[in-house]
């Protein structure tokens, strides 16, 4: 899982069979006449099956790049990772991708002071049902990662995109600074009935000063999915969390709506190149119909740190396992029941964390060997039952 310096296309019943054998995504609109690129001063418009390669080849000479009904060929990346500073990229119409069993990514954008926006009615359609086999990244066919927002710096922003049915993880943020992701909708709910797995919305790692606000992340029903939302604000997005954070610092997640995953999750922290999560603020957000409400987990026997974490005005409902879950015992993707102290969890504030869990769920579960300086106020989780297995609960918290 990464570190922070931190779980979407129409799934037609016939789509999987019809498209798998085709080496190129179907044309959405006729190619431009007479060429794929129309230059208008400093603005360039690209479309059709040649649009992705043309945009990549021309990225250094266009201050505004309009991607209009792009059909990315199979096994290729819509590659805009050599943009001039200040470039504006606009997704217009429907963007589609050909079928290929590979690692991806399908989209890669990098640069400084880059603006990526979606025009009204835009759709970036991953048509993930062609890859979904219930295995996610754990096996089955190779599935491409979706959108690499890597090496975005300065005051870059990604805003107003509508993403649907990603093969696996949706947006990966890595080696980024000062990036804002705003009003992006990721909808993977079709995977509930079609084998979607590990369709994390965000995976944030090795990044600093990242803001995610107004996020809508919809994943599969928690009974048969393993997805995180923050949402990977992973400060761990490797398990299909809608809201997931793996590592990083100075991260803000505000106004988010997370559903159908493992909740707003930080970790697992430890065992990576960067194992520090610091300065994470999660505010004015909701979690619905998920296995967990909020969660922090660290790796057993590893080293690192989690500090300066604030959850403020977070609501939850329909939580099936744990409303609040903090644990220091993860190993090989599963809890051991024995916490270790190599990744301390310190300076954790819960302010106005409220909501309900289902009858069989536990309201709060804390398993700590090195947790301190916690402040809780206005925490009110109803339903379910109290846990009998809490350990190492720090002053300021209750289990």
- Enzyme catalytic residues: 262
CA angle, 243 then 222 then 183, to 5°? 35
Q: What tokens appear for 43 in the block?
A: 């603005």
* Number of Cα atoms under 13 Å in the Cβ half of residue 397: 26
Which is it for the CA torsion 18, 15, 120, 62, positive or negative? negative
Beta-carbon count within 10 A of 251 CB = 29
Helical spans, DSSP H, in 28-187: 51-58
Phi, psi of 57 (to 5 degrees): -70, -30
Whether the CB-CB separation of 246 and 238 falls below 8 Å is answered with: yes
Rounded Cα distance between 29 and 94, Å, is 9
Report the SS3 class of residue 59.
helix
Rounded Cα distance between 234 and 176, Å, is 14
Which is it for the CA torsion 251, 257, 261, 262, positive or negative? positive
CA R_g for the chain? 21
Which is it for the CA torsion 82, 84, 85, 86, positive or negative? negative
Rounded Cα distance between 85 and 74, Å, is 29
């Amino acid at each position: 899982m990464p570190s922070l310096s931190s779980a979407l296309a129409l799934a037609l019943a016939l789509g999987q069979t019809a498209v798998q054998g085709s080496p190129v995504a179907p044309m959405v609109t006729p190619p431009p006449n007479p060429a794929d690129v129309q230059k208008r001063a400093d603005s360039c418009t690209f479309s059709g099956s040649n649009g992705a390669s043309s945009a990549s080849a021309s990225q250094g000479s266009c201050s505004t790049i309009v991607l209009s009904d792009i059909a990315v060929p199979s096994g290729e990346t819509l590659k805009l990772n050599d943009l001039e500073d200040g470039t504006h990229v606009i997704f217009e119409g429907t963007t589609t991708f050909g079928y290929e069993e590979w690692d991806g990514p399908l989209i890669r954008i990098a640069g400084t002071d880059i603006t990526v926006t979606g025009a009204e009615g835009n759709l970036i359609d991953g048509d993930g049902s062609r890859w979904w086999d219930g295995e996610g990244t754990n096996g089955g066919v190779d599935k491409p990662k979706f959108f690499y927002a890597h090496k975005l710096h300065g005051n870059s922003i990604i805003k107003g995109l509508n993403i649907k049915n990603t093969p696996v993880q949706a947006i990966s943020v890595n080696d980024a600074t000062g990036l804002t992701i705003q009003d992006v909708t990721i909808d993977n709910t079709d995977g509930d009935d079609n084998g979607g797995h590990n369709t994390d919305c965000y995976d944030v790692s090795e990044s600093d000063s990242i803001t995610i606000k107004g996020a809508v992340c919809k994943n599969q029903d928690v009974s048969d999915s393993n997805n995180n939302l923050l949402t990977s604000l992973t400060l761990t997005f490797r398990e299909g969390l809608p809201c997931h954070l793996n590592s990083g610092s100075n991260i803000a997640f505000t106004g988010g709506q997370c559903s159908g995953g493992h909740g707003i999750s930080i970790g697992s922290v430890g065992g990576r190149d960067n194992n520090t999560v610091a300065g994470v603020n999660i505010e004015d957000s909701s979690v619905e119909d998920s296995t967990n409400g909020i969660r922090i987990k660290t790796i057993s026997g590893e080293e690192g740190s989690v500090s300066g974490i604030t959850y403020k005005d977070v609501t939850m409902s329909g939580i099936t396992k744990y409303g609040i879950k903090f644990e220091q015992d993860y190993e090989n993707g599963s809890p051991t029941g024995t916490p270790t102290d190599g990744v301390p969890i310190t300076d954790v504030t819960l302010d106005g964390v409220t909501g309900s869990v289902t009858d069989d769920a536990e309201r709060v579960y804390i398993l700590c060997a090195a947790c301190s300086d916690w402040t809780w106020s206005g925490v009110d989780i109803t339903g379910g039952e109290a846990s009998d297995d809490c350990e190492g609960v720090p002053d300021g918290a209750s289990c």
